[in-house]
Amino acid sequence: MASKASRSAKSPFPLADYLKQVLTARVYDVAIESDLAPARNLSRRLHNKVLVKREDQQPVFSFKLRGAYNKMAHLTPEQVKKGVICASAGNHAQGVALSAARMNTRAVIVMPITTPQVKVDAVKALGGEVVLVGDSYSDAYEHAVKLQQKEDLTFIHPFDDPFVIAGQGTIAMEILRQHQGPLDAIFVPIGGGGLISGIAGYVKAVRPEIKVIGVQMTDSDAMARSVAGGQRVALPDVGLFADGTAVKQVGTQTFRMVSEFVDDFICVDTDAVCAAIKDIFIDTRSIVEPSGAMAVAAVKKYAAEHKTKGETYVAILSGANMNFERLRFVAERAEVGEEREALLAVTIPEERGSFRRFCEVIGELPRGPRNVTEFNYRMSATPEHGEAHVFVGLTTSARGESPRIAEAFEHAGFKAIDLTYDELAKEHLRYMVGGRSPLADNERLLRFIFPERPGALVKFLKLMQPSWNISLFHYRHHGADYGQILVGIQAPEHDDKAFKRFLMALDYPWIDETDNPAYRLFLRQPDAA
C-alpha cells in the first residue's frame, strides 16, 4: 500500500465548474444508472458492508460509455461530420463506437494486439473501424495520434479529458444518491486515471469525509508510482492480465486530480483478482473482467490489513468484457488467490506403500480433514537416493496455513517445499510433472472417474494388491461432483485376472489407455513391456 497522496497539486479546472460538468453531463442518452448492489456473502465474510457498483450492466458492459459519449456530445457539428478516433484496450473503444453509431459518424479505433477478442468483436459489431497495433494502450495511443493528424479526425481520449472525466464522475453522483447513509470508502480501479478522477473530484466536493482509494495491479502501478514521486512516471512494461488498466503512463490532468483528491492506493496481484472474480460471481452470478474485479480484491486486502469491522465500502465493478477462454486460468488461480488452497512439493520414498502412507499423513494433518485438490506424480526416471517428488494441492481453512502444512509433512518424515506463492510452479511446473520412466515396466495406464467424496482414493488404494505399484498419478479438482484421474499401475501380465477383479470391486468408471498413441509417444518407454 502506497503512502497517502499529496494534496499540494492544483486541479486542472475550478472545482465548481467541474461539478457543473458532472451534474450536466450527457451520459444518459446511451448509459443507464447502474445498480449499487449489496455483496452479501462477501460482507458476511469480511464483517463489513460491501456494495458493488454494477458498471458491468452498461450496454457495452463497461463504464467507459459515460465519458466517451459526454465528450462526443460536446463536439461541434463539423467535428462530428469528419469522424472520431481513439486508442483503447477495449472498453473505451466500445463506448466510442456505440456513441459514433448513435451520432451517425465514423469511428476509427486503435487497439493493442493483446486486446481480448471479445472486445475486438464487440467494437466491429458496433461499426467501429478496428486497427490493431502494439502490446499496450500506450503503443496504440502513439499510432492513433499519427492517424488522427493524417485523416483529420477528432481524438477522443480515454481518460485525460475534462468531458470524459466528468462523464465518469456521474458514477459518484449515482452512488451518493443511491446510498445516502454512512460510507467509509470507495475503491476505484486505475488505468489512466479518468474514472478515479471523476469519482474523487465529485466525492471530495460533496462528501469529503469519504475515502477514495485507488486500486492498481502490482505490475501496472503507474499512478501510484507517479503520485509517490511527485511527477508522472512512464513504466517500461505493464502486465496484461488486467488489460483494461494496462497503461504505461497516466494522463496529465488525471495525475493532478488524483494527487489532490485520492486518499490512498492499494496494489493487488493476479491471484487476488482471480479470487475476487469468483467472489463477485458468488454474490451476483455475473463474471467481470480482471480490471472489473480489482476494487473487490482491494476491499478484501484493506479490511484484512486494517482489521476493520462494521464499515461500509463501495467497490466499482468497472467492466465485464471477459474472454471466455480466460475463465480456465481464473478458476485455476482463484483458490490460491483466496488462500483456500496450498500447493506443495513433497518428497516421498520411491518404494511400494509410500503413496498410501503419504495419503494417510494428509488425513492426519492439523485442522483436517483436507481435500486433495491436485496430485501430480511420476515414478522417478533417476532413482538416486530412492526418492520421488509429488506436486500436491490441499484445501485450507484460513490464510497463511501453507507453511504449517509443509511443517506437518516434515514432522511426518516427508520433505516438503511450500509452492503456494511460487509463480513458476503455479504457471508452468504443475503441468510438466511426468515424462518417460525406465522404471515403469509392466505399466498399465487407466483413466478413472472418481466420485468427489472423502474416502474415494483410500478405497482405490486398499483394493490394490500390495505387490502392485503406482507409477503415475495425475488429478486436478475442477469443481464437478466427480474427478478425472489418470493412473499408471505396475501389474504384470500374469495378474490379469486379479486386475480385472480389482476393477470390478472398485466399481469406478474406467478406460484402459495402455495402447493410447499419445501415451506411447510421451510417457511410455519405447521398449516397455
Which residues are part of the catalytic machinery?
A: 64, 318
Burial class (CB in 10 A: 0-12, 13-18, 19+), 177: exposed
- C-alpha to C-alpha distance for 395 and 383, rounded to whole angstroms: 30
Q: How far is CA 241 from CA 18, 92, 319, in A?
A: 33, 17, 14
Using omega within 30 degrees of 0 as the cis cutoff, is the peptide bond preceding 454 cis?
no
Report which residue type is found at 496: D
Task: Yes or no: say if 224 and 265 are a contact pair by the CB < 8 Å rule.
Answer: yes
Cell 484460513 sits at which residue?
398
- C-alpha to C-alpha distance for 528 and 526, rounded to whole angstroms: 6
- C-alpha to C-alpha distance for 371 and 365, rounded to whole angstroms: 11
Cβ neighbours of residue 274 under 8 Å, at least 6 residues apart? 290, 329, 330, 331, 332, 333, 334, 336, 337
First to last CA, the chain: 59
- C-alpha to C-alpha distance for 104 and 22, rounded to whole angstroms: 25
